[in-house]
A and B are shown apart, each in its own frame.
Chain A
Amino acid sequence: MKPASMNLTLHVWRQANAAAPGRMERYDAPNVSEDMSFLEMLDVVNEQLISDGKEPIAFEHDCREGICGSCGFMVNGVAHGPQKGTTICQLHMRHFKDGEELFLEPWRATAFPVLKDLVVDRAAFDRIIAAGGYVSVRTGSAPDGNAISVPKEAADIAMDAAACIGCGACVAACPNAAAALFTGAKISHLGTLPQGQAERSRRALRMVEQLSLEQFGSCTNIGECVAACPKQIPLEMIARMNRDHLKAAWTSRGEHRSGGE
């Protein structure tokens, strides 16, 4: 059976570079197959733009199977589009109706400046990770497997938190443009594992400090992030971050700034 096809109208944010002003532009997307992914639909629109001698729509992508965290933009005001628990690269066109109008916009946050069209600079996330989202281990010879036993509950929570792919949808969906879910996921991931204990309080202090330096907003526990998250990271991760940070802030003796534990 031939897959059904549809005609769509796109309104896409076009911005030549970080310094240029941008605006919404209208495009027709005719004969879209319901079996296409959203990004494949944009590929086809771009083919047409290129053959018309126009600049194609820039968007980020890599794995196209929901694991790398590269892709993501707003579709009608919803990060990664209307389907829950999926990235935009995993979203199929069968979730849309013939004749629909779609508004595509980049993540909007001071901490995520637009580089071009739908592509934003998420280096702020990298700097948050660099501030403390790691465990220090001796490299070289491989450690024995299972030398450190991990309780099942801790492993479960850590795995849930580790599912975060750093896509930035939580920031985009948050009315405050806060990055609490992302940072909470990273802090909870390492903070629940035995290997993460040595640097636990330093990690919380440094990552939260970096969070405010990056000009993300402040979390008001609204919950839009969880609804947008393709990995359905729970709100509990933000509470875990607050718990670790509060505890560290009460007990820290100030070493977290100097680099030593």
Chain B
Amino acid sequence: MAATGAALYLFVTVHLLGNLQVFLGPDAINHYAAALKSVPEILWGARLGLLACVGLHILTTVQLARINNKARPTAYAKKANSASTAASRTMYLSGPTIAAFIVYHLLHLTVGSAHPQFSETDVYSNMVFGFRVWWVSAAYIIAMALLCTHLRHGVQSMFQSLGFNHPKHSPRIQKFANAVGILYFAGFASMPLAALTGILPPFFERL
């Protein structure tokens, strides 16, 4: 779980940096997308690797949930939360929402079947026109907020599971992870917001 989570975290990082090239204009992002797709072996290797990570991450979650549901058969009449973060208590909510988002997101911007005017090569226009639908943008932004809460607890939990906890370093790692979470949210949310507000104009208005 820690290993697949870490791999997905890495993917999200690369994916964010790649996507932010949309602000550099149609050519930059379209060339980048074309480069990603230029070697089918690499493209499909990465796709299958990611799919395996998502699959294993979900499988270990299901196993974990089964063990933990059996560990407390009678619920407390009253139970207070004293120290845990909201992010840590909502992992079973944020996780499945992100999974549902990934499916929608693939249909929207990779396959294109959930996109009103999809182009195989013009990733820039796919994003700009896709995000001009306000509820699509809203769904992306909500999903990204949940992703960042998921990662906020996930990062801390990963270090702990792998046996790393140090009174000096761990608080710094947590602060860093929180900052990164906010930064990722800002980065991902900036794209739908920019398309909605016209900061990212359709390509023909740029001419």
Contact = CB atoms under 8 A, between A and B. Distances in A.
B74 A227 contact: no
A215 B71 contact: yes
Contact of A239 (B64, B75, B82, B165): B165
Contacts of A227: 82-83
B162 interface: yes
A236 interface: yes
Contacts of A103: 77-78
A252 interface: no
A39 interface: no
A215 B159 CA distance: 24
B163 A242 contact: yes
B72 A177 contact: yes
Interface string B148-182: 00000100110111111111001000000000000
Interface string A157-176: 00000000000000001011
Contacts of B160: 221, 235, 238-239, 242
A261 B66 CA distance: 34
Given A105-B77, A238-B160, A216 B82 contact: no
B73 interface: yes
A109 B71 CA distance: 6
A17 interface: no
Interface stretch (B12-20, B84-92, B196-204): B84-92
Contacts of B206: none
A24 interface: yes
Interface string A234-245: 111011111111
B117 interface: no
A108 B82 contact: no
Given A77-B79, A239-B164, A240-B163, A222 B84 contact: yes
A36 interface: no
Contacts of B73: 108, 110
A259 to B, nearest CB: 26
B38 interface: no
Interface string A104-121: 010011110000000000
Given A77-B78, A242-B160, A110 B70 contact: yes
Interface of B: 64, 67-68, 70-85, 88-89, 91, 153, 156-157, 159-167, 170
14 contacts: A11-B77, A76-B80, A77-B79, A105-B77, A110-B71, A177-B68, A177-B71, A178-B68, A218-B68, A220-B88, A220-B157, A221-B153, A221-B160, A226-B83
Given A108-B73, A173-B82, A243-B162, 13 more contacts: A11-B77, A74-B79, A77-B76, A177-B68, A217-B68, A220-B91, A221-B153, A221-B160, A223-B85, A227-B82, A235-B160, A238-B165, A242-B163
Interface of A: 11, 13, 24, 74, 76-78, 103, 105, 108-111, 173, 175-178, 212, 215-218, 220-224, 226-228, 234-236, 238-247
